[in-house]
Chain A
Amino acid sequence: MENSELLRFTTAGSVDDGKSTLIGRLLYDSKSIFQDQMEAIEATSLRRGESEVNLALLTDGLKSEREQGITIDVAYRYFATPRRKFIIADTPGHIQYTRNMVTGASTANVALILIDARHGVVEQTRRHSIIASLLQIPHLVICVNKMDLVDYSEEVYENIKEEFSSWASKLDIKDMHFVPISALHGDYVVEESENMSWYKGSTLMYYLENVHIGSDHNHIDCRFPVQYVIRPYSDEYHDYRGYAGRIAGGVFKKGDKVRLLPSGFTSKIKKIDTYDGEVETAYAPMSVTLLLENDLDLSRGDMIVRENNSPDVDQDVEVMLCWFDESKNLQARGKYTVLHTTQDVRCIVKEIRYKLDINTLHRNQEDLDIGINDIARVVLRTTKPLFTDPYRQNRITGSIILVDEGTNRTVAAGMVI
């Protein structure tokens, strides 16, 4: 168990395609549900007059949601098998909650997209897949659910698979996988099933336990945003100056020649330090402390990279922006705070190129009014250069958020193009 990996996945689906039931099923069949939780939902199911224990209740969160019978925000769930520990970002699928799906997707290795076998590929399926592709979730699993309601028909499954595949060919998806399931009865969620002997693939759980995630981090381009400078000011560590941070990409080794941004100075890694002692190599997503050969003055927001492999250093940053704020629309020429890695700068919205229709991928250049849950291609001009990589290449150095300077709210998330 101690050597198990961590896999984060997000689930997307609407209220009635069985998403909550699927999560309940994963938790229940992997024995991650406790007796007191089970008793609580049994009692609730009984009180509501439901004939079976409603597994969907396991993922019901707050009082206000239970009253309305909907989920309003990203909720995180945890379970583990002997192979892996799983974190589920459970996001609601209503049209108005693109924001939540983007949030859940931002850290996910895998996205599960549910399709109701009776209805096939619908508008929401397309929208969720487009978001998964925009957010560059490395692995996409299409779960064709409610197979029990279509007599476990191979034909229905194959038609949906074909329809989705041909439509998705225009998306940027690295790895796509299909599985027919019945979340309600458990077919092919954790256990295989006689009901679909025609299906030769593995269960959803088998996929989640075995999909290769070792390459989901960038291990090529070395990026170390300086997060915090450690200066102990003690007798024992008198001249200690350590640059603490979490590696955003690449593999750093002791002795490596490095370049410092924005100054452009070069130096060498003298030591990679941790509480547990010095290490020879460090890679994403490790939190470490780098010590350099030369006595240079680096501070939070600066970046340490390899000498001959630099990110883009630019004050003009082009992003796909997802707008989150319900109270105010994106202001053309508006000023916002940008958070990027450990940098905190101001920006002005220089140009809104187009609004993306997330049902059709149509680029709308006429209507440039960007409100909540809209996605737009935007050029920002920042007060100081940012050190970015394209989001496709690195999800950490390729992502930003915008903060409203009046309300301090996080109003948008952006992926660098």
Chain B
Amino acid sequence: MNYQLNHLKELESESIFIMREVAAQFENPVLMFSGGKDSILMVYLAQKAFFPAKIPFPLLHIDTGHNFDETIEYRDNLVKKTGARLIVGSVQEAIDKGLVTEEKGYSASRNGLQTTALLTALEEGKYDAALGGARRDEEKARAKERFFSHRDEFGQWDPKNQRPELWNLFNGKKAMGEHFRVFPISNWTELDVWQYLAMEEVELPSLYFAHKRKVFERDGILLADSPHIQKKPTEVVKEMMVRCRTIGDVTCTGVWPSKADSVEKIIEEVATTRMTERGGRTDDKRSETSMEDRKKQGYF
């Protein structure tokens, strides 16, 4: 008998352990759901962790109001299927209340405004732990992120003041008003996620598969044509076969020319691709340290 798990099963076991740890250590956790494959994986792992009971925390979706339609449809189905409770935090509401000011112009995006809507929703719900689907391989500021990431009462991340994590001992102790961000899939790579979703035959939104879409090019990145993005006169819309590698706000999520219309083909594409998936995120390109700066302010 060979008592050795394959790498996907070992990652699964680690993530389930973290989720159960959150349910045990915190009073009022919430799972941040973006509609992307990583948060779909998170919901799937949460189902596994607490089976046959329901997921013991709600899902929180920060709605920028600029979503792909497919994202909302998928979200609502998932909620129905799992019986999970859904909470929606609205960026539009934050704008209406004057908490944030909408960006103007060609590269206007509501992605940055999400931070305020997120912090507001976390505060209103009095959540003491917010589970997120961030991975350490995504971006250099995330390579040092902890599983249990401590946030001060302003929701800020201080890279110099994070707790060392050893073995499988996670210290979730905190003072009043502080909370944690918890990242159960920290150790997964993009390829791991796809291999796992394929192995488990998890249903995914159609956006991830190659489809025909009206797109235009900006700074070397293809963006979906949408009423939410102001185009420059020189930007020409054309129809192409594309797919999303990440799904976020429609204004900043690049699409990729692709013929991959099945999970197997996507895995092949991911395994041979020469660009990181966040290479298509215009929000990361604003400066060399934009992720680090946004994280310090409370972005996930």
Q: Note all chain A residues with C-beta closer than 8 A to B192.
A: 85
Q: A34-B276, A76-B143 in contact; A64/B159 too (CB < 8 A)? A: yes
Instruction: Kindly identify, within residues 156 to 205 of chain B, every residue whose CB is under 8 Å from any CB belonging to chain A.
Output: 159-160, 162-171, 173-175, 186-187, 189, 191-192, 195, 199
Instruction: Contact check, B169 vs A401: say whether CB atoms are below 8 A apart.
Output: yes
- CA A401 to CA B148, docked complex, whole Å: 15
Return chain B residues, CB-CB under 8 Å to A35. Answer: 274-275
Would you give the shortest CB distance from A369 to chain B, in whole angstroms? 21
Min distance, Cβ A63 to any Cβ of chain B, angstroms: 4
B52: CB under 8 A from chain A? yes
Q: How large is the interface on A (under 10, 10 to 19, 20 to 34, 35 or more residues)?
A: 35 or more
Q: Contact check, A36 vs B7: say whether CB atoms are below 8 A apart.
A: no
Known A-B contacts A106-B166, A217-B3, A246-B13; A228 and B187 likewise in contact (beta carbons under 8 Å) = no
**A230 and B144 form a contact (CB under 8 A):** no
- Is B16 in contact with A231, judged by CB distance below 8 angstroms? no
Is B50 in the interface zone, CB < 8 Å from A? Answer: yes
The reply to whether A399 and B166 form a contact with Cβ atoms under 8 Å apart is yes
Residues in A neighbouring B186, C-beta threshold 8 A: 76
Which residues in A have their C-beta under 8 angstroms from that of B3? 214, 217, 219, 251, 283-284
Contact: A287 with B159, CB < 8 Å? no
Q: Which of A142-150, A357-365, A406-414 makes up part of the contact surface? A: A406-414
Which A residue sits closest to B163, measured CB to CB?
A410
Known A34-B274, A76-B136; judge A61-B144 contact (CB<8 A): yes
B52 x A237 contact (CB < 8 A): yes
Using a CB–CB cutoff of 8 Å, the interface residues on chain B facing chain A are 1-14, 16-17, 20-21, 23-24, 47-54, 136-137, 140-141, 143-144, 159-160, 162-171, 173-175, 186-187, 189, 191-192, 195, 199, 271, 273-276, 279, 288-289, 292
A102 and B8 form a contact (CB under 8 A): no
| Complex Cα spacing A401 to B169, Å | 7
Residues of A within 8 A of B292 (CB): 62-63
> Which residues 224-255 in A have Cβ within 8 Å of B in the complex?
227-228, 230-234, 236-237, 240, 242, 244-246, 251
**Do A401 and B52 contact each other (CB < 8 Å), given the known contacts A76-B186, A85-B7, A410-B163?**
no
Asked if A324 is an interface residue, CB under 8 A from chain B, the answer is: yes
With a cutoff of 8 Å between Cβ atoms, the chain B residues found around residue A40 in the complex are 288
A62-97 interface bits toward B, Cβ cutoff 8 Å, 1 = contact, 0 = none: 111000000011111110100011010000000000
Give Cα distance in the complex from A30 to B140, angstroms: 19
Given contacts A35-B275, A228-B24, A275-B51, contact A62 B144 (CB under 8 A): yes
What chain B residues lie within 8 Å of A74 (beta carbons)? 144, 164
CB-CB under 8 A for A399 and B169, given A80-B189, A227-B17:
yes
Known contacts A2-B199, A230-B52, A403-B173, A62 near B141 by CB under 8 Å: yes
Give complex CA distance A250, B47 in Å. 26
List 10 A-B pairs, minimum CB-CB distance, nearest first: A6-B7, A275-B48, A106-B166, A35-B274, A232-B53, A408-B173, A287-B16, A275-B51, A85-B7, A36-B279
Interface presence of A395 (CB below 8 A):
yes
A339 at the interface (CB under 8 A from B): yes
